[in-house]
Amino acid sequence: MAVWAIGDIQGCYTSLMALLTKIEFDPSKDRLWIAGDLVNRGEGSLETLEYLYKIRERVEIILGNHDIALIAAYYGIKKSNPTIDPILNSPEAKKLIDWLRGQKFLHVDHQLGYCMVHAGISPEFDLGMAIRYARRVEEKLQGDYADIWLEKMFKSGIDRFNRDSSKIDIDRYIVSAFTRMRFCYKDHRLDFKQKGKPTDTLRGKGLKPWFESENRKEIHMKIIFGHWSTLGFLHNDDVLSLDTGCLWGGELTAARIDTDKVEIVSVACEKRT
């Protein structure tokens, strides 16, 4: 059995199939971890969801900001667009959206020594806090009033963690950190404006990647994440970044994580995905 983690697909179905062929993925025995942003912008968003749903017993799915936006569009909270219209217009829409609502913001595997999120884990959270807070918002998204709760999540991002804040503001911080975070200030305040790669200029302004934050709480596991195409592939003792910008003409990347040495496999972006 092989376990492969894959970065942001964003509806690039043709590239996904090419990558799975290249790694010789066998759903009867292998497993996939998907680091969020399954859909949006790519032309194969519906096909991507349908395939992952078909092999759902062999996949660990993390929700990304584009997946949350799809769910919000289903509820009429956000506008749709041509790449997710086929999902919303599908006779299987409710089944696919309900399945997506049941996915995680954080996946942890103590045996493999990895955890997976879409954007990152807040520097304010240790692993226990991250697990607890992920479950908190997962329960809200899976609940009977998910649409009411989700609409409140789109008011604006909360950039600072404060236990004394309202329950809704704490939820908005949790969702923002797990799905949108890239850079943090020295005081761990999140920045949602910078989307480029880390530079000395940004560091001089006090902005560092979240995983370089000073006094970041220890996680004691390697963190797999996506979301940051301009950062691209990064692998060190702490993190494994897998968004290599397939949608933007880059590559779709998979990492085998059940072996002593991580194996990296990529495919070039397909023109029509």
Concatenating the DSSP letter of every residue in 153-164 gives: HTS----S--TT
Residue 101, domain member (yes or no): yes
Note the pLDDT tens digit of each residue in 218-230.
999 999 999 999 9
- As a whole number, mean pLDDT of residues 149-171 equals 91
**What pLDDT, on a 0 to 100 scale, did the predictor assign at position 272?**
45
CA 138 – CA 131 distance, rounded (Å): 10
- Residue 21: CATH number of its domain: 3.60.21.10
Number of domains in the chain: 1
Note the pLDDT tens digit of each residue in 40-65.
999 999 999 999 999 999 999 999 99
**What pLDDT, on a 0 to 100 scale, did the predictor assign at position 271?**
56
**What pLDDT, on a 0 to 100 scale, did the predictor assign at position 24?**
97
Residue 273, domain member (yes or no): no
Domain that holds residue 65: 3-268
Taking the whole predicted model, whether its pTM rises above 0.75 is answered as yes
Residue 237: count of CB within 10 angstroms of its CB: 5
| Alpha helix stretches (DSSP H) within the chain | 13-22, 45-54, 65-74, 85-88, 93-101, 127-142, 146-153, 167-180, 200-204
- As a whole number, mean pLDDT of residues 147-168 equals 91
Note the pLDDT tens digit of each residue in 117-157.
999 999 999 999 999 999 999 999 999 999 999 999 998 77
Residue 223, domain member (yes or no): yes
CA 60 – CA 257 distance, rounded (Å): 13
Note the pLDDT tens digit of each residue in 185-195.
999 999 999 99
Of 222, 255, 256, the closest CA to residue 236 belongs to 222
